[in-house]
Amino acid sequence: MAKLCDEPVTQIHIRPGMTVNELVSAMGRAGAYNGGSLHRAVEIYEQMLRNTETTKFFGLAGAMVPAGMGGIVSDLIRDRHIDILVSTGANLTHDIIEAIGCRHFHGTAFCNDVELRHDEINRIYDVYLPNEAFVHFEEFMQDVYGKLEPKSTISISGLLRHIGSNLKSGILHTAAKNGIPVYCPAVQDSMVGLQYWLFSQTNAVTVSAFADMPALMDCCFTAKKAGAMLVGGGVPKNFILQSMLMTPNGFNYAVQLTGDRPDLGGLSGATLDEARSWGKITEEAQAVTVYGDATITLPVLVAAVMERMHHD
Amino acid sequence: MAKLCDEPVTQIHIRPGMTVNELVSAMGRAGAYNGGSLHRAVEIYEQMLRNTETTKFFGLAGAMVPAGMGGIVSDLIRDRHIDILVSTGANLTHDIIEAIGCRHFHGTAFCNDVELRHDEINRIYDVYLPNEAFVHFEEFMQDVYGKLEPKSTISISGLLRHIGSNLKSGILHTAAKNGIPVYCPAVQDSMVGLQYWLFSQTNAVTVSAFADMPALMDCCFTAKKAGAMLVGGGVPKNFILQSMLMTPNGFNYAVQLTGDRPDLGGLSGATLDEARSWGKITEEAQAVTVYGDATITLPVLVAAVMERMHHD
Amino acid sequence: MAKLCDEPVTQIHIRPGMTVNELVSAMGRAGAYNGGSLHRAVEIYEQMLRNTETTKFFGLAGAMVPAGMGGIVSDLIRDRHIDILVSTGANLTHDIIEAIGCRHFHGTAFCNDVELRHDEINRIYDVYLPNEAFVHFEEFMQDVYGKLEPKSTISISGLLRHIGSNLKSGILHTAAKNGIPVYCPAVQDSMVGLQYWLFSQTNAVTVSAFADMPALMDCCFTAKKAGAMLVGGGVPKNFILQSMLMTPNGFNYAVQLTGDRPDLGGLSGATLDEARSWGKITEEAQAVTVYGDATITLPVLVAAVMERMHHD
Amino acid sequence: MAKLCDEPVTQIHIRPGMTVNELVSAMGRAGAYNGGSLHRAVEIYEQMLRNTETTKFFGLAGAMVPAGMGGIVSDLIRDRHIDILVSTGANLTHDIIEAIGCRHFHGTAFCNDVELRHDEINRIYDVYLPNEAFVHFEEFMQDVYGKLEPKSTISISGLLRHIGSNLKSGILHTAAKNGIPVYCPAVQDSMVGLQYWLFSQTNAVTVSAFADMPALMDCCFTAKKAGAMLVGGGVPKNFILQSMLMTPNGFNYAVQLTGDRPDLGGLSGATLDEARSWGKITEEAQAVTVYGDATITLPVLVAAVMERMHHD
């Protein structure tokens, strides 16, 4: 018992003007439930970023860009804290929309959606996006797709790099500029994909579904250490974790921010311990799941880690 | 007020030996929370299946096949209740595993995953899958992929039909036999995809990411009515709903079974009302979301609807 | 591994006209996630009800009576399947409202609550209750409280039995008629309590907060076996489980239907395994938690168990 | 549309060393999902605390003291930011345990609860509490109860004030010292209550369940403005909100931090809009719900508000 009970819970006392890392450290001394897990996530993510041998994967699922989380991701790319980004197509669509100068707006989830339809506003929970943005988006996308070499075969990450190199801000731009690959296995499942379908009606470029696999797998085979920062579940989480399955390696660090729950059996809510049984993460991997909305946990996590890294 | 309060809640009284539809009808007379929504889902799904003008989409996300829900899906295909299936790659992987004679097993979520790893067992919440199954799976997949025409370009649904035509049971088999297309936009994100990567190391077949889009879009443009039965969210839900975005049409019926929650902003937990603002479902569409574990809600829903359809 | 993997998942095949227990048995052969847990709950609850040595506790939290679940509870009392009922005050308030002839109504959660306020309708998610019901409720309660013996001291269960003996249907009526105690530790926290406060403005009856404890504790000390059926968490769950803490006994059977989640640390979502560490349930207790909405899981569970019991 | 879309989402950019309020302000400019709600909660709670006409209620449910959140609550009492505290009995039990010098410990939720039982450790998710603490607790409680005036009748808040005045730190101590009433309608439903039962075996003090109601109701009738800060749901939330039902008043400010969900119908997860239909909060009340774990949202909320209040 002595061994099991050696680190006491310390009650939190707030001081006006605390920095984010000071507060997270207090949450770590309290140490319980998801507050404790968030502190542990800060510890692991800090180690993962500091370990220069680590290949750093970042999974981005959920409608994070419409919620203003895209700025955090593009800054992490700029600062070389992401080596490989795996995203849903939706986040990239909204990233492009912001990069071409359109905006998302503060709205409300308690509204009449038929009226919104009449007002030509698309809703993402409490975020509003005017239809007009998709007019500009279509114009931009068709223009960019039109610059693709006719009759060529291209990978999905190649397509996204092409798009990013035609933008001046945002995730795709920063990734293209810094040579960071962006994988998006289900690119068809997004407006980026629908625009490509439109383009392909009259143009012959082949996007190869598997062309990205060799480079990714090489990266997994050669990684000395690997770390995964997972925002949400979905394809990005699964694609990142499964990438180690064919190799003798596994992830050494893993942090998951999710609002899902494990008991439904889906991978999005699955614990990272479950991933140990598959060998996706190593037996000794440092891993933690923080349950909650990533619009809260991601900014707090990154702010605390950046504060710690800055003190060197 | 009279108008708002005209249908009273009827307390449920259980009778031994009730059929599933009898119980669901009692839940409908009670009419509250997700029990009431489940009854409404039965009403809508029955109408959707009875309306012969409806093109019936089915979205399959979450680890449903390892949980024994695959039998329900293949029976629905056999009975022509599904015209277009959109699935995650994981469900198809586990469908193939069962179809080649391997099994999933009852396990527990409260276990030591490192010990499971040593025992060569992969865990999906409380389902166990021995590694051995993946040995047989690899053998089968490499053999089947080896029969693909060299240097050809193939669509994802074509690849899946090819696999299904080499099986004797399960979802892919039944779909192939009945000519039902199976779409899987993120096929790379699964063991089906990893095996393809392995195959592609020494073989040159191109899987075109977008080759399935024209047929799907044609189908959406020409559908008189459209209905969507969505198990889980993820890529299948989004891919089905977005398919109407480029057309003047929208879904007329929609039923969603999900364990996610709307306030996190992700599409998986989004209400179907939100889809009205986008025009993915029509303004007048009959639509309902049942929150809960689909291993409960799907069998109850399908059993009640099949009982109703059988009475004709 | 052989030992860990001996019971295979059986895919579910629906047959039109299946009884509820037939479907639940198929869900048991599938055996995964909450569908598997629901089958296990049926097995445990059947054993608990069949074991004649068992003292059967029932915890009722969440707004279950407005959702039509009260009929199930009063039938279980009538059939002697409940020995001790612990309820929130809200469920008893709504039970009284129905018993005096007022009704709850089917409504919608997507509405304007300020307009409802103007229409004198109170909302419980998608259930509507006209203010008028509370007028009749007040009349009834003041009348019934007026029959209490002046200057007496009464227990909470005594107060509730007094109310129940003045009703002709519902939970409190059936409990009073059958001599089943109803405990409601937080009775003040309900309209039953607010009406009592009103009554106490001009009358002197003392309701002793602790007067119910001796009888309950005696019951816990003398129980040969104990079983707990817990709908929701809250005070009823905690009060039932803690009742064993002062005795050398613990619950031998426990079934919990809850929509909460364990990682938030609250007792409502806590696993029943956690209760083993406290000794609230025995080390060998058969126990299962089914996560989901009790407006689905409770009717299915009780229908399946009643069907099984009826076959004898 | 112009009107609906006037406040754009601003992407978040992290700066090392940001204070908590600086980060929350950035989350407010992003403005989406629960991150946006948390910012709104800070705005409302700040106004509620600054408005000197406001009677400030605080509801404390969930196992918050074992998680280190008790320090925040006692500091809020000390700083006169709480006028009326409503708590579960469990939180007060754990507050007393800490105040008499016993400690809770960092543990893990992934453990063997039967082994913990043998090690005499009680588990609250990932917090461990040695049985030994309850030995000291019993000693203290029996001693304190022994000082009650024999044959008297006492209110629950009176009982708790008596306990608090025998302690030197923590919530009950600070409340007693500052004359802040602590209401705990379900006090029987806790170790505080079980110890009272033990005491009452040989002593005759009557705890009147309703004796606290007149003072509370007076307070509700005379309040110029009222505000409710609700951590978790349960009895504290319902008891606070219902207290206005018998008055012409309603809450003018309301902030709710909860991990529950609305669609299950229970009050714990109910939206504050639902409370408008009942008149518990006013039609114009400023109110927001932040979904998530209060071990994260409560420290962030209070730190941001204290930082803002300190700048004056």
What one-character-per-residue DSSP string does chain B give? Answer: -TTTS-SB-------TT-BHHHHHHHHHHH--HHHHHHHHHHHHHHHHHH-TTEEEEEEE-SS-TTTT-HHHHHHHHHTT--SEEEE-HHHHHHHHHHHTT---EE--SSS-HHHHHHTTEEEETTEEEETHHHHHHHHHHHHHHHTSPTT-EEEHHHHHHHHHTT-SSHHHHHHHHHT--EE-TTTTSSHHHHHHHHHHTT---EEETTTTHHHHHHHHHH-SEEEEEEES-HHHHHHHHHTTTTSS--EEEEEEEES--GGG--GGG--HHHHHHHTSEEEEEEEEEEES-HHHHHHHHHHHHHHHHHT-
Q: Do A34 and C263 touch (CB under 8 A)?
A: yes
Return the percentage of chain B with pLDDT > 90, whole number: 98
Question: A74 CB contacts (<8 Å, ≥6 apart)?
Answer: A169, A170, A171, A173, A174, D11
Residue A167 to residues A96, A97, A161, Cα–Cα distance (Å): 8, 10, 10
> Of A23, A273, A303, which has the smallest distance from its Cβ to D299's Cβ?
A23
CA-wise closest residue to B96 among B162, B146, B181: B162
CA distance D55 to chain B (A): 30
Whole-angstrom distance, CA of residue B119 vs CA of residue D226: 60
Q: Which helix (H) or strand (E) holds A122?
A: strand A121-124
> Residue B190, CB half-sphere, CA atoms under 13 Å: how many?
27
What is the maximal distance between C-alpha atoms in chain A? 73
Which residues of chain C lie closer than 8 angstroms to B263, CB-CB? none
Which residues of chain D lie closer than 8 angstroms to A300, CB-CB? 23, 296, 300
Whole-angstrom distance, CA of residue D227 vs CA of residue B53: 55
Return the percentage of chain A with pLDDT > 90, whole number: 98
Which pairing describes strands A54-60 and A225-231: parallel, antiparallel, or unpaired? Answer: parallel
Which pairing describes strands A127-130 and A121-124: parallel, antiparallel, or unpaired? Answer: antiparallel
**CATH annotation of D21-310:** 3.40.910.10
Query: Over 50: is that where the pLDDT of B1 sits?
Result: no
SS3 content of chain C, % helix, strand, coil (to 5): 45, 20, 35
Neighbours of D179 (CB within 10 A): 8
Question: A249 CB contacts (<8 Å, ≥6 apart)?
Answer: A220, A221, A223, A226, A282
Catalytic residue among C147, C151, C168, C280: C280
What is the reported pLDDT for D265?
94
Question: A232 CB contacts (<8 Å, ≥6 apart)?
Answer: A59, A60, A61, A62, A64, A257, A258, A259, A268, A294, B266
Whole-angstrom distance, CA of residue A45 vs CA of residue A67: 22
Neighbours of C203 (CB within 10 A): 14
Whole-angstrom distance, CA of residue A200 vs CA of residue A194: 10
Task: Note the pLDDT tens digit of each residue in C6-31.
Answer: 999 999 999 999 999 999 999 999 99
Domain residue limits, chain D? 21-310
CA distance C197 to chain A (A): 36
Rg over CA atoms, chain A: 21
Which pairing describes strands C121-124 and C127-130: parallel, antiparallel, or unpaired? Answer: antiparallel
CB burial of residue A272 (10 Å; 0-12, 13-18, 19+) = buried
Which residues of chain C lie closer than 8 angstroms to A33, CB-CB? 263-265
Query: Over 90: is that where the pLDDT of B311 sits?
Result: no
Whole-angstrom distance, CA of residue D239 vs CA of residue A61: 39
What is the maximal distance between C-alpha atoms in chain D? 73
Going D307 to D310 to D311 to D312, the CA torsion angle's sign is positive
What is the reported pLDDT for D1?
45
What chain A residue is nearest to B241 in terms of C-alpha separation? A189
> Of D32, D69, D128, which has the smallest distance from its Cβ to A125's Cβ?
D32
SS3 content of chain D, % helix, strand, coil (to 5): 45, 20, 35
- What distance lies between CA D111 and its chain's CA centroid? 29
Q: Using the 8-state DSSP alphabet, how is residue A267 labeled?
A: G
Q: What is the mean pLDDT of each run of 10 residues along chain D (312 residues)?
A: 84 98 98 98 98 98 98 98 98 98 97 96 98 98 97 97 98 98 97 97 96 97 97 97 94 97 94 96 97 98 97 68
> Whole-model pTM?
0.97
Q: Do A16 and D98 touch (CB under 8 A)?
A: no
> Of B122, B238, B277, which has the smallest distance from its Cβ to A121's Cβ?
B277
Residues in a beta bridge with D90: none
What is the reported pLDDT for A231?
98
Task: Note the pLDDT tens digit of each residue in D229-241.
Answer: 999 999 999 999 9
D164, D140 contact by CB (below 8 A): no
What is the reported pLDDT for B312?
65
What is the reported pLDDT for A312?
64
Which of C4, C33, C260, C263 is most worth mutating to test chain A (most A CB atoms within 10 A of its CB)?
A: C263
Residue with structure tokens 């009808």? B25
Q: Do A265 and C32 touch (CB under 8 A)?
A: yes
What chain A residue is nearest to C261 in terms of C-alpha separation? A261
C23, B20 contact by CB (below 8 A): yes
Between C312 and B223, name the one with better pLDDT: B223
Question: D263 CB contacts (<8 Å, ≥6 apart)?
Answer: B33, B34, B291, C109, C125, C293, D269
Task: Note the pLDDT tens digit of each residue in D206-263.
Answer: 999 999 999 999 999 999 999 999 999 999 999 999 999 999 999 999 999 999 999 9
Q: With bands split at pLDDT 50, 70 and 90, how would you rate the model's confidence at A311?
A: confident
Which residues of chain D lie closer than 8 angstroms to B291, CB-CB? 261, 263-264
What is the reported pLDDT for D3?
79
Residue with structure tokens 């993946």? B134
List chains adjacent to chain C, taking adjacency as at least 3 C-beta pairs closer than 8 Å. Answer: A, B, D
Sheet holding B127-130, edge to edge: B105-106, B127-130, B121-124
Average pLDDT over residues A101-110: 97
Task: Note the pLDDT tens digit of each residue in B254-264.
Answer: 999 999 999 99
Average pLDDT over residues B75-97: 98
Residues in a beta bridge with B59: B86, B230
> Of B127, B213, B232, which has the smallest distance from its Cβ to A266's Cβ?
B232
Whole-angstrom distance, CA of residue C289 vs CA of residue A164: 48
What chain A residue is nearest to C271 in terms of C-alpha separation? A263
Residue with structure tokens 């599938």? C30
What is the reported pLDDT for C1?
45
Residue D134 to residues B128, C38, D98, Cα–Cα distance (Å): 40, 35, 11
Residue with structure tokens 């409806």? B54
Q: Using the 8-state DSSP alphabet, how is residue C306 labeled?
A: H
Task: Note the pLDDT tens digit of each residue in B31-67.
Answer: 999 999 999 999 999 999 999 999 999 999 999 999 9
> Residue A41, CB half-sphere, CA atoms under 13 Å: how many?
33
> Of D113, D191, D263, which has the smallest distance from its Cβ to C125's Cβ?
D263
- pLDDT mean across residues, chain B: 97
Whole-angstrom distance, CA of residue C27 vs CA of residue C39: 6
Going A47 to A49 to A54 to A59, the CA torsion angle's sign is positive
Q: A with B: how many residue pairs have Cβ under 8 Å apart?
A: 215
Task: Note the pLDDT tens digit of each residue in C265-299.
Answer: 999 999 999 999 999 999 999 999 999 999 999 99
Which residues of chain B lie closer than 8 angstroms to A209, CB-CB? 156, 187-188, 207-209
Whole-angstrom distance, CA of residue B44 vs CA of residue B38: 10
D234, C235 contact by CB (below 8 A): yes
Q: Which residues of B touch D (CB under 8 A)?
A: 32-34, 261, 263-265, 291
Task: Note the pLDDT tens digit of each residue in C127-181.
Answer: 999 999 999 999 999 999 999 999 999 999 999 999 999 999 999 999 999 999 9
- What distance lies between CA B147 and its chain's CA centroid? 28
B104, C9 contact by CB (below 8 A): yes
Q: With bands split at pLDDT 50, 70 and 90, how would you rate the model's confidence at B3?
A: confident
Residue with structure tokens 């204290």? D306
Which residues of chain D lie closer than 8 angstroms to A14, CB-CB? 72, 75, 299, 302-303, 306
Neighbours of A201 (CB within 10 A): 9
Q: With bands split at pLDDT 50, 70 and 90, how would you rate the model's confidence at C312?
A: low
Which of D27, D33, D108, D263 is most worth mutating to test chain B (most B CB atoms within 10 A of its CB)?
A: D263
Q: Do B213 and A190 touch (CB under 8 A)?
A: no
Which of B202, B220, B247, B277 is most worth mutating to test chain A (most A CB atoms within 10 A of its CB)?
A: B277
Which of B34, B271, B291, B296 is most worth mutating to test chain C (most C CB atoms within 10 A of its CB)?
A: B296
Q: Do C200 and D210 touch (CB under 8 A)?
A: yes
Sheet holding C105-106, edge to edge: C105-106, C127-130, C121-124
Catalytic residue among A56, A151, A224, A280: A280
Whole-angstrom distance, CA of residue B38 vs CA of residue B57: 19
Which residues of chain C lie closer than 8 angstroms to B7, CB-CB? 105-106
> Of B5, B12, B121, which has the smallest distance from its Cβ to C1's Cβ?
B121
What is the reported pLDDT for B50?
98
B237 is catalytic: no
A136, A118 contact by CB (below 8 A): no
